[in-house]
Amino acid sequence: MLVLGIESSCDETGLALYCSQRGLLAHNIYSQVKLHKDFGGVVPELASRDHARKLLPLLEQLFAEADVARGDLEGIAYTAGPGLMGALLVGASFAKSLAWSLDIPAIGVHHMEGHLLAPMLESNPPAFPFVALLVSGGHTQLVAVEGVGRYQTLGESVDDAAGEAFDKTAKLLDLDYPGGPNLAALAETGDAVKFRFPRPMTDRPGLDFSFSGLKTFARNLIAAERGTAPLPSRPVMADIAAGFELAVAETLAIKCRRALVQTGMRRLVIAGGVSANKTLREVLSTALAKVDGELFYARQEFCTDNGAMIAYAGWRRLAAASFDVAANNHLDLAVEVRPRWPLDELPSIQESA
């Protein structure tokens, strides 16, 4: 089965072709970073318009790269939520119209399920069951995963998501949007133990997180260190960035280990933008080695938003669905998206071996 995947939930337009026999055939991505940079964050209306502008040229480029014709497509997967309403609607309308014109099924994919399954695109995919740590700009969640759609949330952030904490702290350090990768780059030159940030909520039982206090800690530290200047010196800012990053990584690692012990599972999958963070990967590998755990993650470009994860998750669901083309029940023309969509609400699927 050949499936086209379309991601447009936020500020990246991502497309990919996934073939059940040959794997990932091609993928491309257009990032709107430059468009939103001057505003210090994503402007939803600009994002929607840019998705509308880029989808068709990216699709043509994708077909050319994979040497595939649109008539070869057997299904289309698009991100149906969570995300920005307008941006989601652009992708959904595009996907549904194309599917209708080709008389093939279209399926709405949960963005976080896409992230969660992305490590399966790698050469050493994780087997079920596993614990997933989903860490993106909008989500921080620990999930027990028994299979596709068989998710149980074990814990989540009670305030900021990990990526959001990175972005907000980066702003305090006067770094450009997107803050996470820029803060991580600055942290590389810093001393992570010069300033000791707290490890929030690790001194009490449970698997929930809280990251908003780290941002406040950073704000106070910056105020204390800058003297009469607008900001501390670059080396001190690097130390603050490194201390913050290590605190996030160690806090996540403590909870991940706890989740493995609690569930009796030994595989940990990390997914979402923050899983691209090198310090987090290192801290987690060390923590997991102590409990004989195994760590899985996607290649860097598939940690952040991309079309490949949507094509893959869509394929898993399309392959398990039964569509009766003659009865024409394979294409529901209603364009529905869910800006908010709890992962636990997804139906599980019956997969043939």
Stretch that binds Zn ion, among 16-24, 80-88, 128-136, 189-197 (CB under 5 A): 128-136
Q: How far is the CB of 139 from ligand KG4 (least distance, A)?
A: 7
Round to whole Å and give the CA distance between 27 and 15: 6
Q: Please tell me whether residue 305 binds Zn ion under the rule CB under 5 A.
A: yes
Q: Report residue 96: phi and psi, to 5°.
A: -65, -40
- Closer residue to ligand KG4, CB minimum distance, 3 or 175: 175
Residue from 28, 48, 79, 136 binding Zn ion (CB under 5 A): 136
Residue from 7, 113, 167, 250 binding ligand KG4 (CB under 6 A): 167
Q: How far is the CB of 159 from ligand KG4 (least distance, A)?
A: 14
The span from the first CA to the last CA of the chain, in angstroms, equals 16
Round to whole Å and give the CA distance between 262 and 155: 12
> Which residue from 182, 199, 311 is spatially nearest to 248, judged by alpha carbons?
199
| Cβ atoms 260, 253 nearer than 8 A | no
Residue from 274, 283, 288, 318 binding ligand KG4 (CB under 6 A): 274
> Which residue from 184, 288, 203, 287 is spatially nearest to 243, judged by alpha carbons?
184
Q: Report residue 167: phi and psi, to 5°.
A: -65, -40
Angstrom CA distances, 288 to 141, 157, 194, 231, 262, stand at: 18, 22, 25, 37, 14
Q: How far is the CB of 13 from ligand KG4 (least distance, A)?
A: 13
Q: Please tell me whether residue 12 binds Zn ion under the rule CB under 5 A.
A: no
Stretch that binds ligand KG4, among 102-110, 175-183, 213-221, 343-351 (CB under 6 A): 175-183
Among ligand KG4, Zn ion, none, what does residue 179 contact (CB within 5–8 Å per kind)? Answer: ligand KG4
Q: Please tell me whether residue 169 binds Zn ion under the rule CB under 5 A.
A: no
C-alpha angle 63-124-299 in degrees, rounded to nearest 5: 55
Residue 344, H or E segment: none
Q: How far is the CB of 125 from ligand KG4 (least distance, A)?
A: 19
Contact pattern from residue 127 through residue 166 relative to ligand KG4, giving x for each residue in contact according to CB under 6 A and a dash for the rest: ---------xxx------------------------x--x
Among Zn ion, ligand KG4, none, what does residue 108 contact (CB within 5–8 Å per kind)? Answer: none
| Chain centre to alpha carbon of residue 306 | 8
- Closer residue to ligand KG4, CB minimum distance, 2 or 10: 10
Three-state SS sequence of 3-64: EEEEECCCCEEEEEEEECCCEEEEEEEEECHHHHHCCCCCCHHHHHHHHHHHHHHHHHHHHH
Name which of residues 212 to 241 contact Zn ion (CB under 5 A).
none
Among Zn ion, ligand KG4, none, what does residue 166 contact (CB within 5–8 Å per kind)? Answer: ligand KG4
Residues that bind ligand KG4 (CB under 6 A): 10, 115, 136-138, 163, 166-167, 178-181, 184, 272-274, 276-277, 304-305
Residues that bind Zn ion (CB under 5 A): 136, 305
